[in-house]
Chain A
Amino acid sequence: METININVNEREYEIDAAYEKETLLFVLREVLNLTGTKKGCGTNDCGACKVLVDGKPVNSCVLMTKKAVGKKVITIEGIANDKELHPIQESFIEKGAVQCGFCSPGMIISAKALLDNNSKPTREEVREALKGNICRCTGYVKIVDAVLDASKKMNA
Chain B
Amino acid sequence: MNVRIVWAGRNYDLAASLPDELTLPESASVDDALKMLSGCLPHNRRLPGTCLIAVSGTHLGCLQSHRNQPLKDGDELLVLWPVAGG
Bound pair: A and B? no
